[in-house]
Amino acid sequence: MRLGSAELPTVTLARALSGHAAAVVLVSDMPGLPVVVCPVEHRAALRDGEVWLWFGDPTRRGDWDEAAAELLRCSVYGARAARQRQARSRAAMLCAHAGARVLLAQALGCGPDRIAYQPTESGKPCLGEAGCVSFSLAHTDTLVAVAVSRHAVGVDVEPVRMLPDIDALAAAELDPVLVEQLRGLPPERRVRGFFQCWTVGEAWFKATGRVISAGEAGWLDGKPGLVGLCTAEGARKQYVLF
């Protein structure tokens, strides 16, 4: 994926999920499951029922970071990136917002320099007059993710890593029903299962503005991959993909 003459460092889905948990939540009243497009190069237009999903590697430095910094220079996000003391955090933020602008420009049929968005009260970035397209972004020091759709969408990523006491952390942070599900997983799946819970909860909040309940997260299995879940809420449905 290109930003002007610079190549943004794209990561394949398999590589992204090899060391991270990633979740996308889509809120929609459309029939059937959404179509996840990853990578999104050469897509003609963002169709209803699609989620464009892009992963990037901010550690692969190149011309893209200078192009991204220039693109964001006059925005609130450019100012935030400039304040990042750690180079890795700054690169991750630049990469995420550069990817978001390229995907949004492709979806809206304009140049990345024409894309302008501001944070809402909740902190989630939002397009102004081009509100027909929703997007979400997330980043760690080694992976960024951007999701774009014509429906409300949220994305989150988190590195899967060993924790000192995962049971105690889960009990403190997760719904009791999810804690029981987590304890029922085989030991080799438990760590990823915890981060599945975490990322889906974060992505769910970004998409819906509310905390996920245990009944909406009954998919926990601790396996990497992209799967779909639909739960009804009136005429609207939530799809979890991770």
Q: What is the pLDDT of residues 23-39, one digit of tens each?
A: 888 887 776 667 777 77
**CA-wise closest residue to 23 among 160, 145, 119:** 145
Q: In the structure, what pLDDT confidence band is assigned to residue 223 with cuts at 50, 70 and 90?
A: low
Report domain extents, the chain: 2-158, 162-236
Residues 218/9, Cβ–Cβ less than 8 Å: no
**In the predicted model, what is the mean pLDDT of residues 125-130?**
68
**Could you say which DSSP state residue 216 is in?**
G
Determine the pLDDT at residue 142. Answer: 93
Determine the pLDDT at residue 148. Answer: 92
**CA-wise closest residue to 54 among 46, 63, 224:** 46
Share of the chain above pLDDT 70, in %: 81
Higher-scoring residue by pLDDT: 30, 153: 153
In whole angstroms, how far apart are CA 145 and each of 35, 137, 164? 17, 6, 27
Which residues lie across from 53 on neighbouring strands? 147
CA dihedral sign, ordered 12, 26, 110, 79: negative
When mean pLDDT is compared across 78-87, 101-110, 223-232, the lowest value belongs to 223-232
Fold of 2-158: Ribosomal Protein L22; Chain A (3.90.470)
Higher-scoring residue by pLDDT: 138, 28: 138
Kindly provide the b/e burial profile for residues 18-49, where b requires at least 16 CB atoms within 10 angstroms of the residue's own CB: eebbbbbbbbbeeeebbebbbebeeeeebeeb
Helices (H), the chain: 13-19, 63-72, 76-83, 87-108, 166-173, 176-183, 187-208
Determine the pLDDT at residue 232. Answer: 47
